[in-house]
């Protein structure tokens, strides 16, 4: 695992800057908004991610941070669905550009982010959902300590013109401590 350094992005900010390997995890900036909104229009990314990237960036109460590589924003990582009563949260991560996928940036980001969460949050476990057919992502998550915990079947229902997803989801869990 690469060495990780931690510093605050701004004096009054709660969002850390984490440097790990070839990437930096950092607070989102106003200039990132245009790139994130462009990602929303990439059908393959929205399908793989299971929703619009802007949902993570703008709807998780400041818990999403940017993944930067060589000075450019290449993705997002964060938590959503925090359930403090159950002390759990859902990990959300995406690498936007297909040419950046498969390069190990996601693994570096997930490892660094999980290390930070384990050190700072009072969570018992972190879970994620991934398309069953997305084997590269599943391998990445397994390398980061997640294990398969179940399968969420896509519900075929006559009320849907088409099912919300074309593939079942794999539920994966990692201990947060």
pLDDT of 66 strictly over 50:
yes
| Residue-averaged pLDDT of the chain | 81
CATH at 78: 3.40.630.30
pLDDT of residue 147: 92
DSSP characters for 70-124?
Answer: TTEEEEEEEEEEEETTTTEEEEEEEE-SGGGTTTTHHHHHHHHHHHHHHHH---S
Q: Is the dihedral of CA 32, 38, 60, 130 positive or negative?
A: negative
- Are 46 and 40 in contact by the 8 Å Cβ rule? The answer is yes
Instruction: Sort strands 147-152 and 169-175 into parallel, antiparallel or unpaired.
Output: antiparallel
pLDDT of residue 23: 97
Q: Which domain holds residue 62?
A: 4-124
DSSP 148: E
Ranking 5-19, 93-107, 128-142 by mean pLDDT, the lowest is 5-19
What pLDDT, in 10s, does the model give residues 39-56? 999 988 888 887 888 887
Whether 76 is in a domain gets the answer yes
Whether 155 is in a domain gets the answer no
Global pTM?
0.81
Percent of the chain clearing pLDDT 70 (strictly above)? 77
- Cα dist from 70 to 73, 79, 83, 148, whole Å: 9, 24, 35, 33
pLDDT of residue 75: 95
Q: How far apart, in whole angstroms, are the C-alpha atoms of residue 73 and residue 68?
A: 4
Task: Give CA torsion, residues 144, 145, 148, 152, to 10 deg.
Answer: -60
The terminus-to-terminus CA distance of the chain in angstroms comes to 17
- What's the domain count of the chain? 1
């Amino acid at each position: 695992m690469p060495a990780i350094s931690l510093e605050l992005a701004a004096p009054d900010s709660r969002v850390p800057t984490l440097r790990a390997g070839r990437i930096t995890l950092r607070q989102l900036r106003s200039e990132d908004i245009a790139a994130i909104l462009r990602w929303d229009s990439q059908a393959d990314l929205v399908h793989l991610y299971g929703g619009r990237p802007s949902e993570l960036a703008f709807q998780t109460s400041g818990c999403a941070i940017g993944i930067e590589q060589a000075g450019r924003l290449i993705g997002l990582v964060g938590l959503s669905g925090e359930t403090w009563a159950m002390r759990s949260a859902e990990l959300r991560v995406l690498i936007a550009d297909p040419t950046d996928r498969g390069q190990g940036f996601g693994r570096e980001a997930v490892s660094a982010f999980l290390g930070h969460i384990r050190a700072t949050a009072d969570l018992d476990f972190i879970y994620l959902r991934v398309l069953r057919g997305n084997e590269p992502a599943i391998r990445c998550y397994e390398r980061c300590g997640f294990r398969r915990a179940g399968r969420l079947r896509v519900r075929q229902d006559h009320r849907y013109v088409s099912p919300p997803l074309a593939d079942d989801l794999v539920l994966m869990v990692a201990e947060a401590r």
